[in-house]
């Protein structure tokens, strides 16, 4: 096993400099290459894998991410848990820029993204009624006690790369969605198919377009910087607290999924 826990995120969510004995590996997959090479190393006694979702130089747009290759590559390295921070817009007044949202549900508005490892041969209907690992969630909430956060939330995943119209944003609000982003689906679904525990952490950077608020790029950059600092603290607490063995049901997600 090369790694037990993976972080899929942008620069800023975890500093690779914190890893001991770090090395990078290029992983081949049946689905083509992952977003980038994967950095492996130890952090407080745990074996981590870091994968930049959009590539190291942020060149891969959300709709072009090879999600299957990313999840397959991490699984092939031995990863049993994926922590997945991402920046989102807020659709509700209570979720403010700078807050962390531990989203526990999603609404899928993406299209054309390969979203299963079972494209033929075997028909797999995996359950994503609760798409987030309950054990990882509980431990992350514990680690986030002192941070501005929300324990639940619904993430509407849009196709992008464009942002929403005001009409779309109003519709998503009326559906009860809390935050909006472009990457949770199919990442969460593929992690479940791979029987890997999955924890998204949404960091709010802005108000999307429903709110008539002037947002400057300086505001957004300052918020992103503050979010990255909070996230690093959270991950530093959370990662060493995870037990070596997984007691949740994620590892058996496919037991009753095949026709
Ligand atoms: Zn789990």
Phi and psi of 155, rounded to 5°?
-105, 120
Shortest CA distance to 242 belongs to which of 139, 99, 147, 94?
139
- pTM value? 0.96
Task: Give the tokens for residue 162.
Answer: 């464009």
Domain 5-252 superfamily per CATH: Nucleoside phosphorylase domain (3.40.50.1580)
Parse the chain into domains and list their residue ranges.
5-252
Shortest CA distance to 83 belongs to which of 168, 34, 149, 140?
140
- pLDDT 10s digit of each residue in the chain, 259 long? 899 999 998 656 788 888 999 999 999 999 999 999 999 999 999 999 999 999 999 899 999 999 999 999 999 999 999 999 999 999 999 999 999 999 999 999 999 999 999 998 899 999 999 999 999 999 999 999 999 999 999 999 999 999 999 999 999 999 999 999 999 999 999 999 999 999 999 999 999 889 877 778 888 888 989 999 999 999 999 999 999 999 999 999 999 899 8
Task: Give the tokens for residue 192.
Answer: 């479940």
First to last CA, the chain: 31
Q: Which of 99, 108, 208, 237 is catalytic?
A: 208
The residues placing their C-beta within 5 Å of ligand 1, an ion, are 133, 197, 248, 250
Crossing angle (nearest 10°) for helices 217-241 and 134-143: 110
* C-alpha 149 – ligand 1 centre gap (Å): 21
Confirm whether 237 is a catalytic residue: no
* C-alpha 198 – ligand 1 centre gap (Å): 7
Confirm whether 206 is a catalytic residue: yes
Residue 212: Cβ within 10 Å count: 7
The region that residue 180 occupies, defined by phi over 0 for left and psi between -120 and 50 for alpha, beta otherwise, is beta
Task: Give the tokens for residue 189.
Answer: 């679904």
């Amino acid at each position: 096993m090369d790694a037990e826990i993976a972080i899929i995120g942008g620069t800023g969510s975890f500093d690779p400099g914190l890893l001991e004995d770090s090395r990078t590996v290029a992983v081949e997959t049946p689905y083509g290459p992952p977003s980038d090479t994967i950095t492996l190393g130890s952090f407080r006694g745990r074996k981590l894998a870091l994968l930049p979702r959009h590539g190291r130089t942020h060149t891969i747009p959300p709709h072009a991410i090879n999600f299957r290759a990313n999840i397959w590559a991490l699984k092939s390295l031995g990863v049993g848990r994926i922590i997945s921070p991402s920046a989102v817009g807020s659709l509700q007044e209570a979720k403010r820029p700078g807050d962390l949202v531990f989203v526990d549900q999603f609404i899928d508005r993406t299209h054309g993204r390969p979203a299963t490892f079972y494209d033929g041969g075997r028909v797999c209907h995996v359950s994503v009624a609760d798409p987030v690992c309950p054990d990882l969630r509980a431990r992350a909430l514990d680690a986030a006690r002192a941070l501005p956060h929300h324990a639940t939330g619904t993430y509407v995943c849009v196709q992008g790369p464009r942002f929403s119209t005001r009409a779309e944003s109003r519709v998503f609000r009326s559906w009860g969605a809390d935050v909006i982003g472009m990457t949770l689906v199919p990442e969460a679904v593929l992690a479940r198919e791979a029987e890997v525990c999955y924890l998204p952490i949404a960091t709010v950077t802005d108000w999307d377009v429903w709110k008539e608020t002037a947002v400057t790029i300086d505001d957004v950059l300052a918020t992103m910087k503050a979010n990255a600092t909070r996230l690093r603290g959270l991950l530093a607490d959370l990662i060493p607290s995870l037990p070596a063995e997984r007691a949740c049901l994620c590892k058996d997600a496919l037991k009753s999924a095949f026709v």
